[in-house]
Chains A and B, each alone.
Chain A
Amino acid sequence: MPVLHTELMEVSMGPQHPATHGVLQLLLTTDGEEVVHAKPIIGYLHRCKEKIGQMLPYAQFTPYTDRMDYLAAMNNNWAYAIAVERLAQIEVPERAEYIRVIFGELNRIASHLVAVGTYGLDLGTFTPFLYAFTEREAILDLFELVCGARLTYNYIRIGGLAKDLTPGWEKQCEAFLDRFEPKLTRIDELMGGNFIFMKRTGNVGVLPLETAVAYGITGPMLRASGADWDLRRDVPYSLYPKFQFNVPVGQGLAGSVGDCFDRYWVRIKEMIESCRIIRQALAGLPEGATLAKVPKILRPKPGEIYFRMENPRGELGFYIVSDGTPVPWRIKVRGPSFCNLSVIEAMVDHMLVADLAATLGSFDVVMGEVDR
């Protein structure tokens, strides 16, 4: 009897594909519903960010950091600002630090809401996506009140903030938190409490801790794989030592530790912790200036700095070398999405096409940051 052979098929998933969240291309080699091999092709959104940074004065690079991880622009501003402040030894007023923490955590919530909502879309449920985006709108409204922008803020500047809060903003923020926490529970019930959702994400796309560490995975993905590691607590910066918060670590509630469900679950729990931090910061918010005295043209002493901070997606690092001129000699960005995405090739091991979409969605990569 002749043996029937099936052919492998090459399919291009992206750059225009709903599951890739942007302009990522995956070259899939498939055997029926199974993906034998997946090769990520990046670079469709490359905008020479680092080179631009090396041609501009320090302060002028801040708006460019907005456009790397555009879902967490506040955190990007913040990381760059701290890196330059440490390089130029600038003291930031305390009120500015408090507001930075509040905005950073609000943006973390907004970013995780997008992650969770679009993850629902990847799994074919549309409603949580809109619930999540309704809440994100409220956060963007809070940002808009203060800095006038909804996506690229350019609000956290070197030495402090662009503007102080508008009058009554604290009240509005607290009202938002009061409304948001029950809504978050509702979204979690709709997704994480759903049997089909658990079946689709539990034991799917398991990322073992050793692989995660070997690939330099950071952020919620690393914590979902079982590492108790959060820069806010372990390499503290800004005011984080003052605040009480837990670091959620993957428990394997729907299967094994490090599966897609854990990555989803860690993000939900982190949003709750962010709410706690914001409440503490609002309670302790002091009066005072919001911008330190920074020279118009900043000339840090020759030297270098590497500063890393906990972005919603993981460890965002800025490496800056100064040669004493107003323009940095070298800027290097370590984007968490780039490192997190690199592991996809190792994880696709005869995975189903549907599981690939679920796994890729749980990574929550932003292509603007991968390509920079």
Chain B
Amino acid sequence: MTVWEQLVGSFSTQPWLVTLYAAFAAGLVIFGYVNFVGIFAIWLERKVAGYIQARPGPLHTGKFHGVLQTLADGVKLMLKEDVIPAQADRLLFTLAPAVVFVGSFLVMVAIPFGPGVFVSDFDIGIFYVLAMSSIAVIGIIMAGWSSNNKWALYGGMRSVSQYVSFEVPLVAALVPVIIHGGTLSFRVVVEQQAGGFWNWNFLGLGNPFLIVSFLVYLVAGIAEVNRTPFDLAESESELVAGFHAEYSGMRFALFFMAEYANMFVAGALATLLFLGGWHAPLPIGPGDSHLAGILMGLFWFLLKSWILVFIMIWIRWTLPRIRPDQLMTVCWKYLLPITLVNLVLAAGWEALK
């Protein structure tokens, strides 16, 4: 019996209904959180960009530093006319934003937010997340193709080549973690990192090659979420807006939300696999079984993930964008050989240990 089934257990005695209700409840919570991530991350991005650029950013909507600005923008986007270009492929065009959004939504399901705070504890959570995060690619190529716009097609093509390429070093960088932990479950990997920050994987005390994995993951992770300096797919100055050039209103908002949800997922993965997940830097405080311990775990997990999101925002507003061929060079000529050699060395270390 999962946490969710216990929560909704009083509504019905039928086991299958309980499971159904539990799935709905979990889905609602995750859906709410994805929306929160979108709204909060966009606000954070605007504020951070503002301060980096010596201006205040949103300031008035919602009394305190424009916290409700994104919400207001969301309402505005919902009220916008939903334009579908006359020559567009209507079915693919309307389906694409949903596919992209569902991709980032499904990934969230497998992420443990704290000790015992997860929708489902997969044995193959890491594998599942990597697989599900590739779904967005299909949505993006659908959007780029169906818009019947040459710039959107360019954006879609660039985006897909980038996703497919960076998936390889990304996964190859995560394999040493899996070998080191001997598991594909997020929960187990995090539990292995308990007992202080010196046990966290990124320091590499258990296996020094995890440091390389962490650094490669940071680069490939930013590339996977299409952020500057790797935001070629929507490079404004070259491709107008890339694959979502023809989208407006709520469909555009879905792309936007998915991008920020993916950013959070990239940060959360790094937190879980390298930065000790929900564990505090020092092994003090209540245990994981108490409510206070669970809340502390939730706090530390979110803090670490959002710090990584903040770093991604910081990088975006500082660096220029690189060129498509340079991107491929980075991926195939540098990251991939590094990760492959690293993988062999890490596996050798584990075998000889």
Give me the interface of A with B, judged by CB distance under 8 Å. 9, 11, 17-19, 33, 120-127, 130-131, 134, 190-191, 194, 196-197, 199-200, 352-357, 361
Contacts and interface: CB of A to CB of B under 8 A. Distances in A.
Nearest to A19: B237
Contact of B236 (A124, A354, A355, A356): A124
15 contacts: A18-B236, A18-B240, A120-B320, A124-B231, A125-B319, A126-B49, A130-B53, A130-B55, A196-B319, A199-B322, A200-B320, A352-B323, A352-B324, A355-B323, A357-B238
A17 B320 contact: no
Q: Which of A9, A121, A353 has the most CB of B within 10 A?
A: A353
A194 B323 contact: no
B237 A125 contact: no
Contacts of A191: 320
B159 interface: no
Contact of A123 (B55, B239, B240, B321): B321
Contacts of A354: 232, 235, 238, 323-324
Contact count band on B: 20 to 34
Contacts of A134: 54
By secondary structure, the A interface counts as helix
Contacts of B231: 124
Contacts of B319: 125, 194, 196
Contacts of A120: 320
Contacts of A122: 237
A197 B318 CA distance: 11
Contacts of B154: 11, 33, 353
B317 A352 contact: no
Interface in B227-250: 228-229, 231-232, 235-240
Query: In this complex, which of A9, A19, A127, A197 has the most chain B Cβ atoms within 10 angstroms of its Cβ?
Result: A127
Contacts of B238: 19, 353-354, 356-357
B326 interface: yes
Given A121-B237, A196-B319, 11 more contacts: A123-B237, A125-B228, A125-B319, A126-B53, A127-B49, A127-B53, A130-B55, A196-B229, A196-B320, A353-B239, A361-B237
A127 B317 contact: yes
B228 A124 contact: yes
Contacts of A18: 236-237, 240
A124 B228 CA distance: 8
B268 to A, nearest CB: 26
A121 B236 CA distance: 9
A357 B324 CA distance: 13
Nearest to A134: B54
Contacts of B240: 17-18
A200 B319 CA distance: 12
A3 to B, nearest CB: 22
B81 interface: no
Nearest to A133: B53
Contacts of A130: 53-55
Contact of B317 (A11, A126, A353, A356): A126
Interface in B216-265: 228-229, 231-232, 235-240
A220 to B, nearest CB: 20
A191 B236 CA distance: 18
B150 interface: yes
Contacts of B151: 11
